[in-house]
Amino acid sequence: MSDIKQLQQLLLPRREILKVVISHDDGTVTAVSPSGQQQRLIGNASVDQHVYAEKGRVLGSAPNLPHGVIEV
């Protein structure tokens, strides 16, 4: 792998699929990753909804499908 690709992977934020566990009145949600890490995100979503998240923001709803991470 080239040095530039490695640098991009380290610096660029990753899009994640998280499950919303709490919807707050201030326009934020608390969501949890499959590994159990909790994040507070800017955006609206319903409890138990899966969402795409990037840079601390909800990007939109994600399908409730089995998913995983594969490194190539």
pLDDT at 9 over 70: yes
Query: How far apart (Å, rounded) are the C-alpha atoms in residues 23 and 10?
Result: 30
This prediction's pTM: 0.74
Domains, in order of start, for the chain: 14-61 (2.30.30)
CB-based contact 36:69 (threshold 8 Å): no
Question: Residue 53, Cα to own-chain centre: how many angstroms?
Answer: 3
Q: What is the predicted pLDDT for the residue at 36?
A: 92
Alpha helical stretches, state H, the chain: 3-11
Please report the pLDDT score of residue 47 as a whole number: 97
